[in-house]
Amino acid sequence: MTNLPLIPGITGLIYEDVMPLRWMQLTQMLTEAQRIQCQELNEEVLRTITLLDEHFSEMNDEHDVTTQGLQRIDFKLNLVLDLVGQVLAYNLTLPDAVSVSFNTDAVQWEGLSAPDPGTMVKIELYVSRKYPRAIVLYGKVQAVQPLAGTFKTGVILEGLSEIARDGLDKLIFRHHRRRVAHARRINHVP
């Protein structure tokens, strides 16, 4: 993966994709109770996304009737969850999808508008198509770069709990692993 180019010094795996994102410039700081509630919600959303991303692992014996039955149930549940996610996304007012890159230290996106540099922002990031609930992040705007008709905004994140940070790290790693596996399949297709 690449580094976030707008924010120097940010390294590590980066989650890059197009996803719904909403930002709001803050006029006042969060209270401690609001911060705790936000972190608990983020932890819940990340746990749910992790559960939805897990796939039934194959046993060594592909002919085991029990294994085949569990795989069919797993497939059917995933299908139902995908359909429910699509219905929810259709009925919810999700923000526009934009090009986003993030890790546990920073987030960067391109959009039609941008917050003021140096201000605090609230970012709602919808990372799962199966589960359209936002991870809510807070941070300070480090850079805004005007582009042709858009802006690239870079924010340093603040206040992530260790549990939320760990959940986000796992999400980023799973995304990276899927991208690598996909690239290998594409390169090995005859």
Both structure tokens of 64: 């085991």
Both structure tokens of 101: 């890159």
Q: For position 63, what pLDDT does the model report?
A: 59
Low-confidence ranges of the chain (pLDDT < 70): 1-6, 8-9, 54-63, 85-86, 89-90, 188-190
Q: For position 189, what pLDDT does the model report?
A: 57
* pTM for the predicted model, two decimal places: 0.78
- CA of residue 17 relative to chain centroid, distance: 9
DSSP 110-159: EESS-PPTT-EEEEEE---SSS---EEEEEEEEEEEE-SSSEEEEEEEE-
Domain ranges (residues) in the chain: 15-52+95-183
CATH entry, 15-52+95-183, from 2.30.30.230, 3.30.70.240, 3.20.20.80, 2.40.10.220: 2.40.10.220
Which residue in 133, 134, 137 sits closest to 108, CA to CA?
A: 137
